[in-house]
Structures are given as C-alpha cells and as structure tokens.
Amino acid sequence: MFRPVAQLPLDYSVFKDKKSVFSWAPSGAVLFGNGASVRTGEELKKLGVKKATLVTDQGLVKFGIAERIIQSVREAGIALDVYDKCEPDSSVETVERIAGLAQDSDVLIGLGGGSSMDPAKAAAILVANGGSIRDYQGCDKFTKAPLPIVAIPTAAGTGSECTPFAVIADRQRAWKMPIGGTGIMPALAICDPELTYSLPAGVTAATGMDALTHAIEAYTSRCTEPISDALAMQAIRLIAHAIRPAVYRGDIDRDARYDMMMGAMLAGYAFTSASLGISHCMAHPLGAQYQVPHGVANALCLPVVMEFNMGAWPERYADIAGFFGEDTCGMSVREAAKTGVRCVYELLEDMPIRPLESFGVTEGSLERLADDAMLGGDRPNNPRMTTKEDFIQLYRKVMTLKK
C-alpha cells in the first residue's frame, strides 16, 4: 500500500551557524488544485486502500462537502466508515471514539480544519499503539507506526495537512495537549481551494491569521534553516496579499482562495522544521481556558508578540515589511522592522476578529494564563527569552486592543 519513508525524530536544536547539520523530513505526497478533492477515491485506490474511516464534522455534512468525499471514496469501491461529530478543539474522548471505529481500516481521512485532521492523526496513533492518547503527549512518544493518514483541509489555516503534529483538548486539565512525530505526517494531502469558497468572513480571517502566524513565527524562530526560510518567506508574501480579498470577497475571488491555501500549506511545512514562537504559547491557554478559537487567539497575539520580539532580530522583522510590499529603501533596519510590525497591526484592524475581552478574559485571568504559557513547548525557540511577568504584560496588552 503506502511506501515506507525515512522517519527522523523531530529536532529543534538552535542553529549556531549556517554550516550546522539540519534535517528536513516531510513525507507523503501533495495533490493540490481546484477540484482535487473529487480524486480522493481514485488516489486511495491507487494506494491499495480497501477500507477507510472518514473523520469530519456536522458543518461539513450540512454543506455537502463531506458527501463529496464520501461519494468519491465509495465510487472507487472502497468501504467507508464515517465519524462526523468532531467539535472545535477536538477532545481526548473524540479521539478515543474515532480510534474505536477505525480498528479495521487501512487509512484515516481527516476532512476539515485542525479540529478534524488532528483527532484523525491522534486516533491513528491509538489504533496502532493502544493506551490513552494522553500517553503520547510530546514528541516521538509512540513506538509503532500509526495508521496512514490522508488529510483534506477545508480552510486555509492550520497547515495540519502537512505537519507531524496534532493538538488535542484535554478538558479534564483545561489543557491543549501537543502530540508530535514524523509518523503522523499525512501520507497524502489533498488540497482543494474550492472547498474554502463558502467559508464565512470570520472563519476565513481567523484561519488565515493562524497561517500567517505560522509563517512569521517560523521565519523568526531560533531554529530556522534554509528550506524553512524559503517556505516561510513565500507563505508570508502569499498570505499578506491574499487574505483581505479572501475574507471580503472570497465567494468570487478564486485566486485569493488558491493563494491562501497554498500559503497555509507552505507555512505548515516551514514550522514543521523551524518550530514556532510565543504567540502559540499564549494562544493555547486562551483556547483551553476560555474557548478562544485558535486562529482568533493567534490573530490577537501576533502583532503584540512581534513588537516584543522585534529588537531580538530586527533584520527578520524588516524583511517582513518587504514581504507585505512596503518600500523600505532608505530606512534603517529598526525603522523597517517597525514597519513590518505595523503591517500586521493594520492587518488585524481590517479583520473581523472579536476582542479578547468578549471571551471573558479579565485582569484576574492573567496569572494562570501566564503560568500555562510558560509551559509552551515553543517558548525556547522564540527569538527573545520570555518570563512569566513578560507573559502577563503581553496578555495585558492584547486585552487593550480595540476591535
């Protein structure tokens, strides 16, 4: 069925110079383009799949997108079970239910955003390794190869279709649990911009800002390397120019939808190698404790974090201004870096994103949020070191943003 590929452990060592050894280990294949999803069954048949389990949500069932994939798979003569009850920030319990359904499947298909693709990845671990998904928090904790995964994104944001990560909500602990390992990199990603045409403006904005955060944090991480840099730069360029038309005229601007999906995918590949930064450390507790959608949390935190980080690597933030199309000729590096930060503040102003206070976050929330942000696995890779007091001040500043 699926050809074996090299599986390297995830490595986020900080590079000391340009001659350091680094690994680049994406696996699987990508099928990208308008209408690509109708080929799902055909592609699975080529891979020798006899039975699959589809993981999705009720919204995609309601709007007929799930049926498009179901029909394609069944017309190819492949038996199919369907789990269609994924919730936002899918939980430990959801993963366990999917794993129970998929015991005799050859492959798991994650259709949707991260809330569908991530539990499919996590369930793939459980099918092969057993136990509780809590046993696999962290990187490379499983020993047996997970069930192969096919990922079909329906939003341009999470990048989960091309990353070896899953984030699962542990509601007992009010914690978003990271799970990683190259074994859960999807064997096949089917990226069809047509699946995003009907997304409302708010969802397009939140997911698009999530993708931009991935790209910018990968480009400014302490773990950058040449391949991740190239991918992150192009992702920032694409998203910076496509996100506004995708949000406000995404029903007719097909080029913007195409560029957003491409940008989100490239950003996913970039941060797979380069890691992320403290915007994600801040976003995860907001989601776990106050149910702030992940993209919204990153959208609100990103410019504040960029401003905090700017002095640690001003050359990179100056580059970002250029990726947004700003003419920085004649500016000092610091002036250009400030322009890069301003571009993202102005972008946030244009996005239909709710303010943090509307989710119930208060001054009294900040200490616990900061405690959990300090536990974020991406904190060591941020360009500037961060203390608990820094996080309190950063959350406080995010709360002052007016939308």
Residue 87 belongs to what domain range? 29-195
**Domain-ending residue, one of 195, 221, 237:** 195
Same domain? 211 vs 319: yes
Same domain? 294 vs 269: yes
Quickly tell me which residue has 């406000």 as its tokens: 248
pLDDT digits (tens, 9 = 90+) for 304-314: 999 999 999 99
For residues 228 and 321, give the distance between their C-alpha atoms in angstroms, rounded to a whole number: 19
Same domain? 107 vs 228: no
User: In this structure, are strands 29-32 and 165-170 parallel, antiparallel, or unpaired?
Assistant: unpaired
Same domain? 159 vs 227: no
Per-residue confidence of the chain (403 residues) as pLDDT tens digits? 555 555 667 777 665 455 667 777 676 899 999 999 999 999 999 999 999 999 999 999 999 999 999 999 999 999 999 999 999 989 999 999 999 999 999 999 999 999 999 999 999 999 999 999 999 999 899 999 999 999 999 999 999 999 999 999 999 888 889 999 989 999 999 999 999 999 999 999 999 999 999 999 999 999 999 999 999 999 999 999 999 999 999 999 999 999 999 999 999 999 999 999 999 999 999 999 999 999 999 999 999 999 999 999 999 999 999 999 999 999 999 999 999 999 999 999 999 999 999 999 999 999 999 999 999 999 999 999 999 999 999 999 999 997 6
pLDDT digits (tens, 9 = 90+) for 132-144: 999 999 989 999 9
Angstrom CA distances, 260 to 122, 147, 195, 226, 403, stand at: 26, 29, 12, 22, 23
Q: In which order are the strands placed within the sheet that holds 138-139?
A: 138-139, 175-180, 165-170
For residues 221 and 98, give the distance between their C-alpha atoms in angstroms, rounded to a whole number: 34
**Domain-ending residue, one of 157, 179, 195:** 195
- Residues forming a β-bridge with 179: 138, 166
Q: Please give the model's pTM, rounded to 2 decimal places.
A: 0.94
CATH code of 181's domain: 3.40.50.1970
Termini Cα distance of the chain = 51
**6 lies in a domain?**
no
Contact residues for 35 (Cβ-Cβ < 8 A; gap 6+):
192, 194
Same domain? 161 vs 74: yes
Among 258, 166, 265, 157, which residue's Cα sits nearest to residue 211? 157
CATH code of 331's domain: 1.20.1090.10
DSSP 88-131: SS-BHHHHHHHHHHTTT-SEEEEEESHHHHHHHHHHHHHHHH-S
Please check whether residue 209 is in contact with residue 299, taking contact to mean a CB–CB distance below 8 angstroms: yes
Residue 351 in 3-state DSSP?
A: coil
Token output for 87: 């919730």
Among 329, 313, 395, which residue's Cα sits nearest to residue 14? 313
% residues pLDDT > 70 (the chain): 95
**16 lies in a domain?**
no
DSSP secondary-structure letter at 211?
Answer: H
pLDDT number for residue 39: 97
Q: Give the helix, strand, coil percentages of the chain, each rounded to 5.
A: 55, 10, 35
DSSP secondary-structure letter at 156?
Answer: S
Q: Rounded to 5 degrees, what angle do the CA atoms 390, 279, 371 make? A: 50
**Structurally, how many domains does the chain consist of?**
2
Count the neighbouring beta carbons within 10 Å of the beta carbon of residue 142.
Answer: 19
**Domain-ending residue, one of 173, 195, 217:** 195
Among 228, 202, 285, 171, which residue's Cα sits nearest to residue 25? 228
**2 lies in a domain?**
no
